[in-house]
Amino acid sequence: MDGGRTNRAAPVFILLGPPGAGKGTQARLLQERFGLVQLSTGDLLRKAVADGTEAGLKARPIMEAGGLVTDEIVLAILRERLAAPDCAKGVVLDGFPRTEAQAEALDRMLDASGQSIDAAISLEVDDVKMVLRISGRMTCGSCGEGYHETFKPPRVAETCDACGATDMTRRADDNAKTVMSRLDAYHAQTAPLLDYYGARGVLHRIDAMREINVVADAIAETMVGETA
């Protein structure tokens, strides 16, 4: 199925899943494997502000005040980024949309450029096990590479495999109480997107509790099928 996408239009994939499901990790692997561009709305917002784009200028005062940037601004920034040459091979959206209203607005935006969602990939997890997974996360303070005490430990304790730095950091909110609160918020707000994309025939459920490479292979198989 191609969801009505034209032959020239770049494919668009979405990764869905609660915090800690591995969306960022899998998006980076897809970028390496297929040449797709990983688009994280948080990163896009910060870059648009830093670059002083039209949408970035609108977002700056809101972000500086600690407010939530409107969907309209987020979509404008996303539209700007999708028009860049490096997105010609396709993109994978990480962290957007989060609500059905955002999904509908995204569909309208993509339709205007002859694109559509090729696949919405839901990374399925076990809530109880997710507490253990997230509470063991750590990140290299120098290069940003992510690790986990159990699932992805560095080869040398507290030392980054990628750059050799020893300043591993842990998020203060990566604790059981906060994780459960975030999972509850995901199920209440974002999980309904599964019905939305399921009704459009582009939803694919992937067991994300397996090893990273196994999950990556399952996602890749799905994506190859969608773009064949």
CA 140 to chain centre: 20
Residue with tokens 């809530």: 127
Region at 22 (left for phi over 0; alpha for psi -120 to 50; beta for the rest): left
Q: What pLDDT score was predicted for residue 199? A: 96
The span from the CA of 105 to the CA of 197, in Å, is: 14
Q: Helices 23-34 and 212-227: crossing angle, nearest 10°?
A: 50
Which helix H or strand E contains 119, and what residues bound it?
A: strand 117-124
pLDDT-derived band at 204, boundaries 50, 70, 90: very high
Residues annotated catalytic, as ranges: 23, 98, 137, 171, 182
Query: What b-and-e string marks burial along 145-156, b requiring 16 or more CB atoms within 10 Å of the CB?
Result: bebbeeebebee
pLDDT of 178 over the 70 cut: yes
Q: What pLDDT score was predicted for residue 1? A: 37
Calculate mean pLDDT across residues 73-94: 92
- Phi, psi dihedral angles at 145 (to 5 degrees): -65, 135
Q: What pLDDT score was predicted for residue 8? A: 55
Q: What pLDDT score was predicted for residue 135? A: 79
Nearest to 212 by CA among 14, 22, 24: 22
pLDDT of 180 over the 90 cut: no
pLDDT of 3 over the 60 cut: no
The span from the CA of 75 to the CA of 55, in Å, is: 9
State the chain's mean pLDDT as an integer. Answer: 88
Q: What pLDDT score was predicted for residue 227? A: 57
3-state SS, residue 145? coil
Q: Which residues contact 69 (CB under 8 A, 6 or more apart)?
A: 45, 59, 62, 63
Q: What pLDDT score was predicted for residue 226? A: 63
For residue range 118-150, list pLDDT tens digits in order.
999 999 999 888 887 777 888 999 998 989 888
What pTM value is reported for the model?
A: 0.76
Q: What pLDDT score was predicted for residue 145? A: 92
